[in-house]
Amino acid sequence: MTGLTDIEEQPLAFTATAARPAAVPDAVRDTYVGADRYGFVAAPDGAPLRFGIWQARSSPRGSILLLTGRGEFIDKYAGEVIGELLARGFAVYACDWRGQGLSARPLEDRQKGHIDRYETYLGDLQAFLTGVVAPEAPRPIVALTHSMGGHILLRHLSENADSTPVAAGILGAPMTGLRREAIITTILTLLPPVVAVEERYFYGSAPFRMIGREFTGNKVTHDERRYRFTEAWFAADSRLALGGPTVGWLRQTLRSIWALGAPGYLERVRVPLLLLSAGQDLLVDSTTHIAVEGRLPDCRHLVYANARHELMMELDAIRARFFADCDAFLAREAP
């Protein structure tokens, strides 16, 4: 960590060298595993999307497609999680979502978390799958997701049921509903859907700042060391920094959540899924997971009563149970 109180934004250059993190924080150095290959793949509109590939360390039993949540970046998972997946015999493929990490950002203010519509995310995922993952990833390909990543995976699986290379999926705290959704919806109805408004920070959101990040009262984890990973990475490589969501991001998120609720939509998903809920989730409405499980043709649902939103960044005891449940699922889907 540095003594920074604010993040100084730096422009991105979309070269293979620029896809690598500028530095590795001391907080994760002992367990960090850098990718064997970094690069950029072009989205359907030409926007560069940054990815990393970790080759299996022995004869591969398959591949993990790692899909992160809003505001995250693949390096955060390279601190611990990716090493744990490699130890299980998997190759790992991960990509930064548009608007975060080292992928292209749509607004001049790079700190704003923004998207024009979720179909853009879906096109970006398809570009990564088609251009990078499907041609080379050892089979089977199993998706491991967090929050928004799980939401986008569900939409992909529904809309590409006959063509997806993904054979199974693990949904960690999937974003199938938001806490305080009714309040957010009410606020959005008062805001006109014009560009000048859509690109503003939503109420209560702001650029990321190093100061004021108290662990007490945080909404994502009970583990302070892992809670500090994000700010440690932002200090090590300020290009990764991201603040809160825009009005437009939240409006499009609710529209996409409502798309999941359309009759017959989730019922089209054909692959086996493991849905894992955080019992103390303060961001995602985990009660929606019950209905989602009932609509998915092949889904097992487990609840971690004492966990907050970021299951893979939780206390050791919670993570141990999380990975034990994942191992049991993977033993069936990627033996």
What is the side-by-side order of every strand in the sheet holding 37-42?
37-42, 48-54, 90-95, 62-67, 141-146, 166-172, 273-278, 299-304
Query: In the numeric block, which tokens belong to residue 220?
Result: 């994502």
- pLDDT digit string (tens) for 43-101? 999 999 999 999 999 999 999 999 999 999 999 999 999 999 999 999 999 999 999 99
Cα angle value 20/75/334 (rounded, 5°): 110
Residue 283 covered by a domain: yes
CA atoms within 13 A on the CB side of 80: 16
What share of the chain has pLDDT > 90, as a percent? 92
CATH of the domain at 93: 3.40.50.1820
Residue 5 lies in a domain: no
Question: Is the bond preceding residue 140 a cis peptide, omega within 30 degrees?
Answer: yes
Q: How many domains does the chain contain in total?
A: 1
Q: Are 62 and 90 in contact (CB under 8 A)?
A: yes
Q: Is residue 10 part of a domain?
A: no
**Residue 6 belongs to some domain of the structure:** no
Torsion over CA of 209, 69, 141 and 261, rounded to 10 degrees? -170
User: Residue 3 pLDDT > 50, yes or no?
Assistant: no
Query: What are the tokens at 183?
Result: 């309040």
- Say if 40 falls within a structural domain: yes
Does the pLDDT at position 11 exceed 80? no
Q: Is residue 254 part of a domain?
A: yes
**Domain range for residue 50?**
17-333
Q: Is 2 a member of any domain?
A: no
- Whether 298 is in a domain gets the answer yes
Q: Work out the pLDDT band at 1, boundaries 50, 70, 90.
A: very low
Question: Which of 274, 269, 266 has its CA nearest to residue 291?
Answer: 266
